[in-house]
Structure 1
């Protein structure tokens, strides 16, 4: 990959405000204009100069850096808004991609997207990760990622970096899972490099619900600026979007909706508390109440019973067939979800909720109980029309993790060749 050298006498590093810093800032400005242009619109150098206030000469020099780095390409002639001879349009090079990965309690998943966010490849493998060590789980994920990376490269797409989403509290700076109760992981520093060896942007760790919330923000056709995303898996997670930005709190751990207490004298939770939302609305709780026993792995021996996906299919079959226990389990989950959401929206002054995971899958039956509960405990705060189902489905966490890597590249494109 070609790289751009600084001008003679220009320090590459130094005090804020030096020429190297200014150029890096301008490079991000130009990259952002190209990345965020409307679909089907290919801005020219002249249009970027007019939009940013930079000189045409500066824009041409910066675009040359991006072309040399291979993250932008020229596409034909663009007559839109141009006087005289049309200019050459610019777009993110589709020969580049990033990988989103997810570890959840009962599966691992990975997918490759291009820089525009289009999902090119995806694969999910069901496995019970709560009895496996972090080393074993990441090794399995590394194998899955290697296969997808090879497939992407066979299609002419190079993977620049990746993001990994896990259902727990994380420290992205050190690659540490602080706690993931449903996995049984505590203070586990993951070997992120092993997941995607020798990629320029490395691999970044994310909380699963936060990543999925970011995917909703990006992919919803007419998304709101403020919403609470609710992730339904074995555990229950939450992601807060305020002013079109993910809000994670001072320590990065805001949004733990699954551990909001809804039954003070309720069942023990994996977090060590009692009566948390996920003890009544998580997958395990719903399956148990419906009389379904999913297959689990223990000491390398699989127990009898359906897999997780088969269990969800079985639950849907029971519900549509009018099974009283299954219907009661889902209604109970929706009721207590409303209790937790009611407290959250009052505290945060948010009026929109997006349901993901099994809450979206069960939306037809969850929604009436949820809206009734909200009307009881937070009347007028969340109207039925402001409760929606996920726009991205099961792929939300890996799409959000991948999209965040793209965002970091757009904000600092010099990372590819500095």
Structure 2
């Protein structure tokens, strides 16, 4: 949520002269100040007036609207050295949250994220989604969502909105998955209304890697404004952050590292091409190369992944070679991406993060061979988000939208 304060100031400075528009911008401005407070900070109305450069009277009126909308709450604050009654501070309401959801090849997941971006609860359910009808997968996800909605109500939480991440190219405005090769989906319209009935704001659809990149952004240092996030699952996705903003390109293809061609005469890929990175460094490709058989269902894949780690722990071939080959190919793709996008930081998630100790040596060696001029200052990081990255990123983005446009919930 680090970008909220600056975006709110920009909105305020460029707001039209209409009184209603100015008030909308100022609501966002005040809320951004409250949201930007540190974990142990509690800003009073006087603090907010000073930080937002609005009058105390305006701040009091705007805060009243935010309190009535349930977006913030008051809390007593004792300041060091002061006597008497504590001043009244304001914080984001911890009982307001957003639901993030994910559909992947062999699981569905859902979780609750509060307005500050904290993951409150999540559940991952193994499920074979490849070639399953979109309606069947959404029905199963709807049941999972319903369980979390019941749990939220029991804890006094109100869900304000939701987001869904899928491993493919999406048309967010039409809630359409344009292409998701590893799901076997093409031009699939999703009935997302059933996933979160009664949501108070719009529901958003995301590419899985883009959502994970947005989640990762909140963990980066403030000065780290440009990076490529590489997501390793059955497929390989990429999310590109440039100047602290997601860059997906005019058709949403930017950062899609999994379908960069590494071996022109290589194996056929699910995208219809040949020799893509995914055919060498994707989860299923590594398992097959390690001699761990073909996938039967999501449970068997998880079993085979455990077998892979066991083989790697004791140094068994061909598991070591399969991961090393994946690292080498990943290094080639990363070398090209770093030059093309002019980024020096790459963050790896999914199985790439889990396999780091075996993958990194081959990855770094490959990078030195194929991009010696940039290998020395490349920052290769592993994400701690695990399987929660996509759903957290989707939910945090929706929460960010709410904090930038609080007028939707006011009045």
**Pair in the same fold by TM > 0.5:** yes
**Alpha-carbon distance, 1:383 to partner:** 3.8
**Alpha-carbon distance, 1:417 to partner:** 3.7
Any runs of at least 4 consecutive aligned residues in structure 1 with deviations exceeding 3 A, and if so which?
Answer: 78-87, 220-223, 382-385
Work out whether residues 287 and 315 of structure 1, in 8 Å CA contact, stay in contact via their aligned partners in 2.
Answer: yes
Partner of 1:312: 305
**Alpha-carbon distance, 1:132 to partner:** 0.8
Residues 1:321 and 2:314 are matched in the alignment: yes
The CA distance in 2 between the partners of 1:280 and 1:111, in whole Å, is 31
Partner of 2:355: 362
The CA distance in 1 between the partners of 2:221 and 2:96, in whole Å, is 24
Greater CA deviation, 85-94 or 365-374? 85-94
The CA distance in 2 between the partners of 1:175 and 1:127, in whole Å, is 22
Partner of 2:50: 50
Per-residue deviation, residues 139-183 of structure 1 (Å, max 9, x unmatched): 100100110111111111111111100000111111111111111
Structure 2 CA distance for partners of 1:165 and 1:324, relative to 1, 3 Å: same
**Alpha-carbon distance, 1:83 to partner:** 12
3-state SS, counterpart of residue 218 of structure 2: helix
The CA distance in 2 between the partners of 1:281 and 1:81, in whole Å, is 59
Structure 2 CA distance for partners of 1:84 and 1:28, relative to 1, 3 Å: farther
The CA distance in 1 between the partners of 2:185 and 2:125, in whole Å, is 20
Partner of 1:136: 136
Structure 2 CA distance for partners of 1:396 and 1:82, relative to 1, 3 Å: farther
* Matching of residues 143-154 of structure 1 within 5 Å: 143-154=143-154
The CA distance in 2 between the partners of 1:44 and 1:361, in whole Å, is 44
**Alpha-carbon distance, 1:78 to partner:** 5.2
Residues 1:210 and 2:174 are matched in the alignment: no
Work out whether residues 228 and 353 of structure 1, in 8 Å CA contact, stay in contact via their aligned partners in 2.
Answer: yes
The CA distance in 1 between the partners of 2:314 and 2:81, in whole Å, is 59
Partner of 1:161: 161
The CA distance in 1 between the partners of 2:393 and 2:95, in whole Å, is 20
Equivalent pairs, count: 397
* Matching of residues 180-195 of structure 1 within 5 Å: 180-195=180-195
* Matching of residues 252-263 of structure 1 within 5 Å: 252-263=252-263
**Alpha-carbon distance, 1:247 to partner:** 1.4
Q: RMSD in angstroms over aligned alpha carbons?
A: 2.0
**Alpha-carbon distance, 1:221 to partner:** 6.3
Partner of 1:11: none
The CA distance in 2 between the partners of 1:81 and 1:178, in whole Å, is 60
The CA distance in 2 between the partners of 1:81 and 1:244, in whole Å, is 39
**Alpha-carbon distance, 1:81 to partner:** 11
Partner of 2:87: 87
Residues 1:334 and 2:327 are matched in the alignment: yes
Match of 2:383 among 387, 390, 393: 390
**Alpha-carbon distance, 1:296 to partner:** 2.7
**Alpha-carbon distance, 1:380 to partner:** 3.5
The CA distance in 2 between the partners of 1:398 and 1:329, in whole Å, is 29
Partner of 1:407: 400
Greater CA deviation, 335-344 or 73-82? 73-82
Give 5+ residue unaligned stretches, structure 1.
Answer: 1-14
Calculate the TM-score normalised by the size of structure 2: 0.92
Partner of 1:175: 175
